[in-house]
């Protein structure tokens, strides 16, 4: 089997592709892969490290407002389609899989014009522009949220619900994080608070205001602030390194192991984060970022809140008092967290990669 993967810009588009590649390789040891992304996206940093052959096309996103940049985008699209066609002809894939980001538009469109089987995967509850465009041309549309089905309503016969491949990868994690590595105590009730890899200003501001109260709680708190905000915490608090109950890290790279260890997460509601939370059944307070396309993080969060698998606090309503109250209530109610955990896990897809592979196999 020869598989061309494409997806980029953010980890939310890249990690599902890598999870799929890993499982495909396990099932088909002789499988060969090519990953097509852009030079500027995160994929240019991550993919070469995996050893997967990596090629690029030059493309940029379409602006939603009227802009001269869109003229350049159209020109780049035509050029990128030509480049993608050549890569496809050279590699001769059995299937082309797109996991989101504007790089997918020329790659999967080119594949469809060359009659190569194609499938796109939409991780969010609101479809991205590229996937909406491609839905007309591809053979299959894999989705992770039922809500996004309506965005592809013109092609119901193409839709298959698979969940996010990251779920199956995470669901198999049995390791527990060692909290002493962060200066905390193993076995003590713990809350993890983070706002994404770069941090979130509003969450960090609310958190900074309640640190004196949190230091007095009988649960401990681990914060991933983001590099910029880490320095701000250090400058704001003279006793920053002396807190017993609260520890701040700039970045944490083993989130799934932590989700599998701690009692409550306070975080954004990106697709990858929700996939990991549902795969492991980790109770959460979700604070959707309002600064995303079509407010998709709020819709992501609502899909979990509607089944009582999480609580949501909108950023517009976020205050230090409300944040502290929400954390205190959940950390003081073991039964409530247990129910949330069960409900969150019930909407996960622990066999997501198997389902996606089955969809791929059905078109080749």
186 has binding-site annotation: no
- Which of 201, 204, 281 shows the shortest CA–CA distance to 246? 204
Domains and CATH numbers, the chain: 2-164+349-361 (3.40.50.2000), 179-346 (3.40.50.2000)
Distance of alpha carbon 314 from alpha carbon 196, whole angstroms: 16
Distance of alpha carbon 15 from alpha carbon 9, whole angstroms: 11
26 has binding-site annotation: no
10 has binding-site annotation: yes
79 has binding-site annotation: no
> What string of pLDDT tens digits covers the 364 residues of the chain?
999 999 998 888 999 999 999 999 999 999 999 999 999 889 999 999 999 999 999 986 555 544 556 556 677 889 999 999 999 999 999 999 999 999 999 999 999 999 999 999 999 999 998 999 999 999 999 999 999 999 999 999 999 999 999 999 898 888 899 999 999 999 999 999 999 777 899 999 999 999 999 999 999 999 999 988 998 888 889 888 889 999 999 999 889 999 999 999 999 999 999 999 999 999 999 999 999 888 999 999 999 999 999 999 999 999 999 999 999 999 999 999 999 999 999 999 999 999 999 999 999 9
CB 335 within 8 A of CB 268: no
364 has binding-site annotation: no
For 83, the 3-state DSSP assignment is helix
For 88, the 3-state DSSP assignment is helix
346 has binding-site annotation: no
124 has binding-site annotation: yes
**pLDDT score recorded for residue 11:** 86
């Amino acid at each position: 089997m020869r598989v061309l993967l494409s997806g980029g810009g953010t980890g939310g588009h890249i990690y599902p592709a890598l999870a799929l590649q890993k499982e495909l390789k396990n099932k088909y040891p002789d499988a060969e892969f090519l990953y097509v992304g852009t030079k500027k996206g995160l994929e240019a940093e991550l993919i070469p490290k995996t050893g997967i052959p990596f090629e690029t096309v030059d493309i940029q996103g379409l602006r939603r407002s009227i802009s001269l940049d869109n003229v350049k985008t159209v020109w780049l699209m035509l050029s990128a389609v030509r480049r993608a066609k050549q890569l496809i002809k050279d590699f001769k894939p059995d299937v082309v899989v797109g996991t989101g980001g504007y790089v997918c538009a020329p790659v999967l469109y080119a594949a469809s014009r060359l009659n190569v089987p194609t499938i796109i995967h939409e991780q969010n509850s609101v479809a991205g522009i590229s996937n909406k465009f491609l839905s007309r041309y591809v053979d299959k549309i894999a989705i992770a949220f039922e809500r996004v089905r309506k965005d592809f309503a013109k092609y119901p016969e193409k839709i298959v619900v698979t969940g996010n491949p990251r779920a199956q990868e995470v669901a198999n994690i049995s390791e527990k994080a060692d909290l002493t590595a962060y200066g905390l105590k193993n076995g003590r009730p713990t809350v993890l608070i983070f706002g994404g890899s770069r941090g979130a200003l509003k969450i960090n501001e609310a958190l900074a205001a309640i640190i004196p109260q949190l230091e007095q709680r009988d649960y401990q708190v681990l914060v991933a602030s983001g590099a910029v905000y880490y320095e701000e915490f250090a400058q704001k608090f003279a006793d920053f390194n002396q807190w017993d109950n609260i520890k701040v890290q700039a970045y944490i790279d083993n989130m799934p192991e932590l989700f599998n260890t701690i009692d409550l997460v306070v975080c954004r509601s990106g697709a990858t984060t929700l996939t990991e939370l549902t795969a492991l059944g980790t109770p959460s307070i979700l604070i959707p970022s309002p600064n995303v396309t079509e407010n998709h993080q709020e819709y992501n969060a609502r899909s979990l809140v509607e089944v009582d698998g999480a609580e949501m606090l909108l950023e517009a309503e976020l205050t230090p008092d409300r944040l502290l109250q929400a954390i205190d209530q959940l950390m003081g109610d073991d039964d409530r967290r247990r129910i949330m955990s069960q409900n969150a896990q019930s909407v996960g897809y622990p066999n997501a990669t198997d389902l996606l592979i089955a969809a791929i196999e059905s078109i080749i």
